[in-house]
Chain A
Amino acid sequence: MWIETTIAMRFLRQGRAQTLLILVGIAVGVSVIVFVVALISGLQANVIARTLGTQAHVRVEAPEEVNRIAPAAAGTAQLLLEDRRAQALRPIVNWQQVRDALDHLPGVTAVSPVVSGPAFGRRGDAVESVALIGMDLPRYLRVIPLDENMVEGRLDVGSGNALVGRQLAQDLGLRTGGKLRLDAGDGRATVVNVAGIFELGVRELDARYVYLDLKQAQSLLALPGGVTVIDITVAELFEAERIAARIRGLTGLKAESWMETNAQLMNALTSQSMSTNMISFFVAMSVALGIASVLAVSVTQRTREIGILRAMGTRRRQMLQVFLVQGAVLGVAGSLIGALAGWGLVGIFNTFGPKLFYIPMPAGLVPASMLLATVAGVIAAAVPASRAARLDPVEAIRHA
């Protein structure tokens, strides 16, 4: 390969202007790919992180109650008008066992049993409807980083303490240390001490959530010893649906992944990724066409030299390699410049951009885009290279 590579490099160096132009072309294309992919994946990671800041990756609940329909007598047709059953708060049966089983499920990093249900929060004359969340704090924190979202007071739900959302605190005029009366109906009511105020950044949650100790919530919601939901965090975000399916099969419970819950978001992300891939594909294609046309011109310009080289004993395969190497070298060099430029663009965006979010440089993006451009370069070179290899030496030498 030494002589083929040497000839290829000399040809590239001799056609300086053409080589530089196509290198710039490849570099621009690759930097666009690198920047767009980094931007979009950064954006997506950001949106997902925000969404999952207040959601479990998988939510396990008791199966829904369904109507039990008496089987029709043999030989009769049954005409059925069915109303959905009212879905009362239902505890998960044997939740301790389920929790322990999920703790050991591969891919699961956190399991947090929760009891939740509706209630009224009162202070003086003001009444707000709230959602009571009773949880085991250390476990819960591994699912929702509540500790990072505290704006006031302490993170404490023990012994009659509660955490309320910032919006709810405002609506009821509550401050840390204030008292909140919780009324869950049927005469089950209690007064809790507001230990802290949080802000999750989602208005709906900040206006309704009241965090309590598991036991206290259980007694308020008349579910002594029971939990209604088991929240789960998984190691690989996009494995959530698979793990949810696994949990459904394993426990017979209802398990919903964040991907299912946020189907619309997933849809948006998928189509965004698709358009990124399309942009990459078309840019790569125009890069390839650029390389192909530059090499095609070069083969025509060098027809006579190719004939001479063939007369001096250069084999067809060697001639082919001379031009394939040129395609590969253009791809590698152009994409190296382009990838660095794309990286620079990401840096500029992070430093001087709107600073709405930070774009991390996805690991492997630079080598992947370089590989893409190099493969595109070699494929693009194939047509002109095989034309060079097939040239008839007699005709080529006569070529003006």
Chain B
Amino acid sequence: MPDSREVLRLDGVRKSYNIGQPNEVEVLHGIDMRVEHADFAALVGPSGSGKSTLLNQIGLLDSPTAGELYLLGKPTREMDDEARTALRGRHIGFVFQFHHLIGAFSALENVLMPHMVAHGKPDREALDRARNLLADVGLEKFADRKPGELSGGQQQRVAIARALVTRPALLLADEPTGNLDTKTAADVFKLLRRFNAEFGCAVLLVTHDPRLAETCDRTITLVDGRIDSDQ
């Protein structure tokens, strides 16, 4: 039985691409790992080692070729797209390297988007939560701006607020600071840290910056699709 602190467990997860074709390639070779409530873990490794692929499996954007992935104790590999999407929307927040906001919506609406696609028109409570999140990332004055009118760092902060609006159990970030200057990167990192402490949401982030990785509670190193170390 999974204990109540467990958010995520991977059990021999493998991922192959181009299955059945001459260029078939296995990228993940049996990953076992566990992420607990309020963990703050860095996923590091050389380029091409499978970090993004692993994050996509964990985020239920893709499904493993073999093995099992438990999210909050639920096995997910056999789920259909509908169930997987629902689970992803409820319990997982994403922050990508290139912020990826929806250009036709304001900052506030972008923050609300995960809530709105699940529940429709936002009520007072959801609006307040989104406003507070925007304030937390220091952008309360920019709520009505379109993404195109914000700087890269501001956009990434909106994306973080968006990832947290559904109070996810797990926040996944794929090189969230890879596109930012050092100072902005440190700010964004601090924000992730703060929300991790405040909301207790587990954070798993891919980073290339060894200094940022060092400040995490835990560093998982991936080499050639295998976990090399986990401290």
Distance between A99 CB and nearest chain B CB, rounded to angstroms: 69
**Of residues 54 to 73 in B, which have CB atoms within 8 Å of A's CB atoms?**
56, 59, 61-62
Q: Which of B59, B62, B89, B102 has the most CB of A within 10 A?
A: B102
Which stretch from B115-123, B133-141, B201-209, B221-229 is at the chain A interface?
A: B115-123
What residues on B are CB-neighbors of A310 within 8 Å?
61, 85
What residues on A are CB-neighbors of B118 within 8 Å?
313
- State whether B82 touches A393 (Cβ < 8 A): no
- State whether B100 touches A394 (Cβ < 8 A): no
Q: Mark B32-64, 1 if CB is under 8 A from A, else 0.
A: 000000000000000000000000100101100
Q: Which of B62, B100, B103, B162 has the most CB of A within 10 A?
A: B100
Report the separation of the CA atoms of residues A249 and B102 in the bound assembly, to the nearest whole angstrom: 72
What residues on A are CB-neighbors of B82 within 8 Å?
315-316
- State whether B105 touches A10 (Cβ < 8 A): yes
A314 contacts the other chain (CB 8 A): yes
Report the separation of the CA atoms of residues A397 and B81 in the bound assembly, to the nearest whole angstrom: 17
What residues on B are CB-neighbors of A392 within 8 Å?
62
**Of residues 284 to 320 in A, which have CB atoms within 8 Å of B's CB atoms?**
304-305, 308-316, 318
Report the separation of the CA atoms of residues A3 and B122 in the bound assembly, to the nearest whole angstrom: 10
Distance between B176 CB and nearest chain A CB, rounded to angstroms: 14
B169 contacts the other chain (CB 8 A): no
Q: Which of B56, B103, B117 contacts A312 (CB 8 A)?
A: B117
**Of residues 78 to 115 in B, which have CB atoms within 8 Å of A's CB atoms?**
81-82, 85-86, 88-90, 94, 96, 100-105, 113-114
Report the separation of the CA atoms of residues A3 and B117 in the bound assembly, to the nearest whole angstrom: 6
Distance between A392 CB and nearest chain B CB, rounded to angstroms: 8
What residues on A are CB-neighbors of B162 within 8 Å?
312
What residues on B are CB-neighbors of A351 within 8 Å?
none
- State whether B113 touches A316 (Cβ < 8 A): no
Report the separation of the CA atoms of residues A7 and B102 in the bound assembly, to the nearest whole angstrom: 10
- State whether A312 touches B94 (Cβ < 8 A): yes
Distance between B99 CB and nearest chain A CB, rounded to angstroms: 10
Q: Which of B86, B94, B101, B120 contacts A311 (CB 8 A)?
A: B94
- State whether A312 touches B113 (Cβ < 8 A): yes
Number of interface residues of B (CB under 8 A): 28
Distance between B66 CB and nearest chain A CB, rounded to angstroms: 18
Distance between A3 CB and nearest chain B CB, rounded to angstroms: 5
A11 contacts the other chain (CB 8 A): yes
A67 contacts the other chain (CB 8 A): no
Which residue on A lies nearest to B166, using beta carbons?
A313
Which residue on B lies nearest to A308, using beta carbons?
B100
Contact status of A313 and B114, CB under 8 A, knowing A305-B103, A397-B100? yes
Q: Which of B56, B90, B121 contacts A313 (CB 8 A)?
A: B90
- State whether A313 touches B100 (Cβ < 8 A): no
Distance between A308 CB and nearest chain B CB, rounded to angstroms: 5
A246 contacts the other chain (CB 8 A): no
Report the separation of the CA atoms of residues A359 and B52 in the bound assembly, to the nearest whole angstrom: 67
Contact status of A309 and B117, CB under 8 A, knowing A13-B104, A397-B96? yes
- State whether A3 touches B62 (Cβ < 8 A): no
What residues on B are CB-neighbors of A316 within 8 Å?
81-82, 85
What residues on B are CB-neighbors of A2 within 8 Å?
120-121
Number of interface residues of A (CB under 8 A): 24
Distance between B226 CB and nearest chain A CB, rounded to angstroms: 21
What residues on A are CB-neighbors of B61 within 8 Å?
310-311, 393-394, 397
A14 contacts the other chain (CB 8 A): yes
- State whether A309 touches B113 (Cβ < 8 A): yes
Which residue on B lies nearest to A311, using beta carbons?
B94
What residues on B are CB-neighbors of A314 within 8 Å?
85, 89, 117
**Of residues 355 to 400 in A, which have CB atoms within 8 Å of B's CB atoms?**
392-394, 397
Q: Mark B190-206, 1 if CB is under 8 A from A, else 0.
A: 00000000000000000
**Of residues 1 to 43 in A, which have CB atoms within 8 Å of B's CB atoms?**
2-3, 6-7, 10-11, 13-14
- State whether B102 touches A315 (Cβ < 8 A): no
Report the separation of the CA atoms of residues A3 and B100 in the bound assembly, to the nearest whole angstrom: 19
What residues on A are CB-neighbors of B89 within 8 Å?
312-314
**Of residues 111 to 156 in A, which have CB atoms within 8 Å of B's CB atoms?**
none
Which residue on B lies nearest to A313, using beta carbons?
B89
What residues on A are CB-neighbors of B105 within 8 Å?
10
Q: Which of A308, A318, A393, A397 contacts B102 (CB 8 A)?
A: A308
Report the separation of the CA atoms of residues A11 and B85 in the bound assembly, to the nearest whole angstrom: 22
Distance between A303 CB and nearest chain B CB, rounded to angstroms: 12
Q: Which of A14, A304, A318 contacts B100 (CB 8 A)?
A: A304
Distance between B149 CB and nearest chain A CB, rounded to angstroms: 14
Which residue on A lies nearest to B165, using beta carbons?
A312
- State whether A311 touches B102 (Cβ < 8 A): no
Distance between A90 CB and nearest chain B CB, rounded to angstroms: 79
Q: Which of B56, B114, B116 contacts A394 (CB 8 A)?
A: B56
Report the separation of the CA atoms of residues A283 and B77 in the bound assembly, to the nearest whole angstrom: 49
Q: Which of A2, A7, A311 has the most CB of B within 10 A?
A: A311
- State whether A394 touches B103 (Cβ < 8 A): no
What residues on B are CB-neighbors of A10 within 8 Å?
104-105
A residues lining the B interface (CB < 8 Å): 2-3, 6-7, 10-11, 13-14, 304-305, 308-316, 318, 392-394, 397
A-B CB proximity, top 5 nearest: A313-B89, A10-B104, A14-B104, A312-B114, A314-B117
**Can you spell out 17 A-B residue pairs with CB atoms less than 8 angstroms apart?**
A6-B116, A14-B103, A305-B102, A308-B100, A308-B101, A309-B113, A309-B117, A310-B85, A311-B61, A312-B94, A313-B85, A313-B86, A315-B85, A315-B86, A316-B81, A318-B117, A397-B61
Known: A313-B86, A313-B166. 9 other contacts (CB 8 A): A7-B104, A10-B105, A309-B113, A311-B59, A312-B114, A312-B162, A313-B85, A314-B89, A315-B81
